[in-house]
């Protein structure tokens, strides 16, 4: 599903496999990046969708993970093997993938087991910038839903895009959620004044007002 000239949703509940969170693909010239990986159960469909929108000479440089939960990370190892990209996640989330923690990654919620995965690059601290082709993406620490949740900001086709997966939560003790941090992170997301929001379970929001309204609705709960 094309969002703009160089931005697509290539995976999700109705696009690849039940249980998959939204998977987004962004292209910056001769390189591209994926945001999140789904459960892995729809890997074949995901590959078909990716290959249908970018030519083989465009390399997928990074797979950016927003957090460690299984609906976002279960397919990450298969994507790395397929495309040779580097897996990126915040340092506070990496141990739960490396240890195959099926509780904190919520794999048990899906009747699955989290297979251990060692990531290639760990985001350390509050922000980190990554160069991809002729553009860049900025990872921003926004904990609350999980201890090391991040969002990603990029300018794509002259618009500020926020990849803010799981803006809606949920918050749960087994996920090590923290409400105070979550509220603070929501307020920070509103301050970005993004023109497009690519969310993990509720789709895509266009226009600053709609983005602000969606994120703000969770501040009112």
Q: For the chain (length 221 residues), average pLDDT per consecutive 10?
A: 97 96 98 98 98 96 98 98 98 98 97 97 97 98 97 98 91 96 96 96 96 93 53
Q: Which residues contact 23 (CB under 8 A, 6 or more apart)?
A: 9, 10, 11, 12, 15, 16, 34, 35, 36, 37, 38, 46
**Half-sphere exposure at residue 206, Cβ-oriented, CA atoms within 13 angstroms:** 3
Per this entry, what is the length of the chain? 221
Bridge partners for 204 per DSSP = 198
CB 38 within 8 A of CB 78: no
Q: Scanning the structure block, which residue is given the tokens 């799981």?
A: 166
Return the exposure string of 146-170: e unless at least 16 CB atoms fall within 10 Å of the residue's CB, then b.
bbbbbbbbbebeeeebbbbbbbbbe
Q: Residue 221: its pLDDT value, please? A: 53
Q: Residue 137: its pLDDT value, please? A: 98
Domains defined along the chain, listed by start: 2-217 (3.60.15.10)
Other beta carbons within 10 angstroms of residue 89's beta carbon come to 28
The distance of Cα 73 from the centroid of its chain, to the nearest Å, equals 9
Q: Residue 165: its pLDDT value, please? A: 79
């Amino acid at each position: 599903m094309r969002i703009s000239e160089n931005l697509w949703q290539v995976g999700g509940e109705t696009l690849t496999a039940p249980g998959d969170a939204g998977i987004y693909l962004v292209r910056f010239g001769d390189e591209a990046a994926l945001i999140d990986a789904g459960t892995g159960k729809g890997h074949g469909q995901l590959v078909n969708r990716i290959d249908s929108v970018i030519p083989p000479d465009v390399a997928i440089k990074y797979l950016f993970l927003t957090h460690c939960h299984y609906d976002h990370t279960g397919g990450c190892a298969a994507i790395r093997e397929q495309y040779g990209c580097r897996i990126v996640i915040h340092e506070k989330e990496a141990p739960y993938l490396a240890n195959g923690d099926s509780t904190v990654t919520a794999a048990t919620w899906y009747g699955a087991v989290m297979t251990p995965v060692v990531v290639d690059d760990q985001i350390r601290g509050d922000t980190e910038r990554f160069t991809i082709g002729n553009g860049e993406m900025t990872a921003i620490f926004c904990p609350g839903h999980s201890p090391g949740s991040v969002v990603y900001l990029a300018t794509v086709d002259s618009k500020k895009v926020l990849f803010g997966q799981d803006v809606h939560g949920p918050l749960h003790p087994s996920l090590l959620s923290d409400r105070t941090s979550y509220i603070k992170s929501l307020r920070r997301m509103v301050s970005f004044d993004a023109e497009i929001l690519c969310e993990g379970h509720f789709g895509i929001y266009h226009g600053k007002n709609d983005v602000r309204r969606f994120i703000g609705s969770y501040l009112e709960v």
